[in-house]
Amino acid sequence: MLALIAVAVAISGLDSTGEWLHEAAESPWGVVGFVLLYIVLVVLLVPGSLGTIAAGAVFGMWIGAAAALTGATIGASIAFAISRRVGREGASTLITGRVKGLDRWLSERGLVAMIVLRLLPVVPFNALNYAAGLSSIRPRHYLVGTAFGMIPGTLVVTAVADQADDPTSAGFATALGTAVVALIASIYAANRVRQLIADA
């Protein structure tokens, strides 16, 4: 969490002095280019949180969140498709124990399971993209669950990044407080999800 905040402050500092970031934000193709870059980075397993922070710092909370959600959803869908295309059959012999429980949980609870997992910041975004492709979850449940499950976290992160140029402001304190509460809640929820998977 502290590392992400430091990155947000650093990027926001660049945004206030870096001419190229201003040009990117003001260009009609700036958002499109950012989304395309985000898609590529997600497929290449670059942490999505970095792109989301950059989106909030450069484009502001709302446009940044929309750009990040679009790029993340498309990138996650491509990663899922790649994983399912080349790995599902070969990985079937490795699906045992906890992995088998996760596979069954995703298959039976599909949409709800994916929304829950996407709501948890402690669940690695990129790893889940490829892991879900190896599971038996339905593609539409994966896609819809991914899109909706990322909304709260994306809004929180872009809000923090948007306000990070003034760390003493009430807006930054509110966004940061919300992020901390969300992280604590996610840790508790992750333990519950882990138990559900173990009992599946």
- Distances from the Cα of 24 to the Cαs of 18, 41, 59, 75, 193, in angstroms? 10, 18, 9, 21, 40
Closest C-alpha among 129, 162, 135 to residue 59: 162
Q: What is the pLDDT of residues 105-157, one digit of tens each?
A: 777 778 888 888 888 877 888 888 988 888 888 999 999 999 988 988 888 88
Give the model's confidence band at 48: pLDDT under 50 very low, under 70 low, under 90 confident, else very high: confident
Give the model's confidence band at 88: pLDDT under 50 very low, under 70 low, under 90 confident, else very high: low
The pTM score is 0.75
